[in-house]
């Protein structure tokens, strides 16, 4: 790969991604055994948080910032040979990086590029994600590519935290990427994000792990009143019952079995519409959601007056 290449390997990969692996395992066993509620014999039930990795992502490669290094970055992409006009792409990326630093929007001068080697994919676009190391500064870098009949081309070069935060925000559809260490990539991305919901840019399985822990912690534990589900304030819904957990920053929705007038839709129709949104871009339709099946919660997890308010 040339240049001042460095490769970082995380020996604690399994420990760093333990929440991710446990949640995937639980999803498989719940479908396989048709688990209702919780079955500690076939699934992980720990309410503790796994060790988070503060290391940079495994597979992060560094290069000098000259146009030659940018050319090497493009050539190493899985679709590098299909670039529409590699010379123009190299010039555009190098020029935009230079322009960004010359305008004073970032202190110091760019010295090298570090990129996560696996490419991020969403829809018909691909994204090379990493950072620019400068003199005492770190700047996010995302290069967006799109495919066309003439070949792959550079769509955008994003370096501001606002742009990167919007790209990886919770209102967008998920990326597809084969990461050696998921938690390390999350650590890197979070360092680029401005103030945003704590779940932003967390993979679905890791986010579901947070939900699992919130639901599994007993109400009798310290701070129990803050772990009791209560009806969300506002107008009563005809399709769903919405619960909140004071100690949690997300809401829980339960689709009703039967809908009152004037609703004429069915529960199956609602589930089908959710699946449609999950398979497409959520922007403008749904912020984010994780689906749970066959849950069973004890009554002491709810506020005493909750059943009457539903």
- Give the contacts of 22 (CB within 8 A, at least 6 positions apart): 44, 46, 50, 209
**From 10, 17, 212, 288, the catalytic residue:** 288
**In 3D, which of 173, 186, 185, 60 has the Cα closest to residue 124?**
173
* Active site annotation includes 288: yes
Helix segments in 179-232, DSSP class H: 182-190, 204-216
CA angle 174, 176, 177 (to 5 degrees): 130
Residues 79-84: contacts with CB under 8 Å, at least 24 apart: 79/126, 79/145, 79/147, 79/152, 82/147, 82/151, 82/152, 83/151, 83/152, 83/153, 84/148, 84/150, 84/151, 84/152, 84/153
| H helices present in 34-145, as ranges | 67-75, 86-102
- Nearest-angstrom CA–CA distance, 23 and 93: 39
Helix%, strand%, coil% for the chain, nearest 5? 35, 20, 50
DSSP character at residue 4: S
**Neighbouring-strand partners of residue 251:** 244
User: Which run of H or of E encompasses 240?
Assistant: strand 240-244
Could you list the active site residues? 288
């Amino acid at each position: 790969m040339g240049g001042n290449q460095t490769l970082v390997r995380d020996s604690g990969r399994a420990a760093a991604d333990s929440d991710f692996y446990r949640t995937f395992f639980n999803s498989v066993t719940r479908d396989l055994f048709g688990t209702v509620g919780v079955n500690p014999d076939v699934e992980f039930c720990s309410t503790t948080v796994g060790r988070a990795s503060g290391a940079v992502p495994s597979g992060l490669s560094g290069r000098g910032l000259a146009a030659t290094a940018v050319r090497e970055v493009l050539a190493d992409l899985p679709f590098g040979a299909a670039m529409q006009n590699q010379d123009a792409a190299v010039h555009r990326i190098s020029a935009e990086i230079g322009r960004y630093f010359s305008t004073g929007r970032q202190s110091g001068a760019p010295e090298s590029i570090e990129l996560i080697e696996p490419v991020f994919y969403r829809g018909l676009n691909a994204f090379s994600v990493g950072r620019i190391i400068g003199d005492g500064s770190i700047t996010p870098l995302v290069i967006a590519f799109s495919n066309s009949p003439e070949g792959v081309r550079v769509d955008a070069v994003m370096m501001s935290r606002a742009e990167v935060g919007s790209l990886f925000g919770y209102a967008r559809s998920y990326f597809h990427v084969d990461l050696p260490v998921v938690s390390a990539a999350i650590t890197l991305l979070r360092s680029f994000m401005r103030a945003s919901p704590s779940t932003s840019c967390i993979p679905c399985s890791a986010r579901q792990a947070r939900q699992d822990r919130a639901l599994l912690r007993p109400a009798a534990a310290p701070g129990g009143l803050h772990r009791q589900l209560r009806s969300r304030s506002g107008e009563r819904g005809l399709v769903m019952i919405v619960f909140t957990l004071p100690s949690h920053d997300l809401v829980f929705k339960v689709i009703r079995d039967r809908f009152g007038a004037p609703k004429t839709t069915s529960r199956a129709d609602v589930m089908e519409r959710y699946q449609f949104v999950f398979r497409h871009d959520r922007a403008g339709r749904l912020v984010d959601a994780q689906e749970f099946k066959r849950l069973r919660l004890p009554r002491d997890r709810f506020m005493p007056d909750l059943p009457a308010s539903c």
